[in-house]
Structure 1
Amino acid sequence: MSLLFLIFVFFTSCTKSTYVPPGIIKPREMQNIFWDMIRGDILAQEIVNKDSTKNLKTESFAINEKIFFIHNINRAKFEKSIAFYEKHPGLVKTIFDSLNAVQTRKNSTEIERRKTGKRDYPIPRSNLIR
């Protein structure tokens, strides 16, 4: 009996830990949603800082609803996915490590661009000094 239990434990521990069941937002999409939500929270904070009649919680909620719409999900699916990821910290770590890597690349690109003076966009001809 204990041998059967050990075999069961062995095979269940060797299953792919990156498996995400149907109905749960996949890690790559979850990463994109988190990225947009982080940026949305910053935007909500800026809106509230500029207009004292605005409420941070209300602004964040409205922006998050727009983010859900953009990503073709609803709040229920997002919360169901969050509940799944809370039980799988390895997947969450992967998502946030990827977010960190994206931000690090953006920062290093921005630093390099500032050092070299290169622009990501062309200067309009009307602004050129002749």
Structure 2
Amino acid sequence: MSDANFDRINRLEDRQGDQEGRVGALEQMVKINADRLTEERKANADERKANEDRLADERKANEARLAEERKANEARLAEERKANADERKVNAEERKANDARLDAERKACRSERIIIIVAVAAAVVASFLGGSS
């Protein structure tokens, strides 16, 4: 074999070695990227799970807070309803007392009118009887 052929073979072998090195580097990059992608997917899944857990905890806390608010509102409304019922009862008693007082005043006025009418009638009769003698 001649030196030219030998040089040519050496160059081809060098080129092949370079290409094998490049292929090896590319394979290594693919592996690194695949590992990185796997790590990112796992991290994303972990983050999603953490977010879901946090949201579940927030929902639970919100539901508990709303239940407490509803309970407090129901208690407040029950107190207001009772106060309103008590007020209606007091108002009814006042109306009853006012009606009784008004009836008593009407009766007193009727009695006074009757007394006045009787007194006037007596005066008329007296003047009639006294004037004819």
Give the structure-1-normalised TM-score.
Answer: 0.24
- Which of the pair has the greater relative contact order for Cα pairs under 8 Å at 6+ separation? 1
* Greater C-alpha Rg: 2
Q: Which has the higher helix share?
A: 2
Give the structure-2-normalised TM-score.
Answer: 0.24
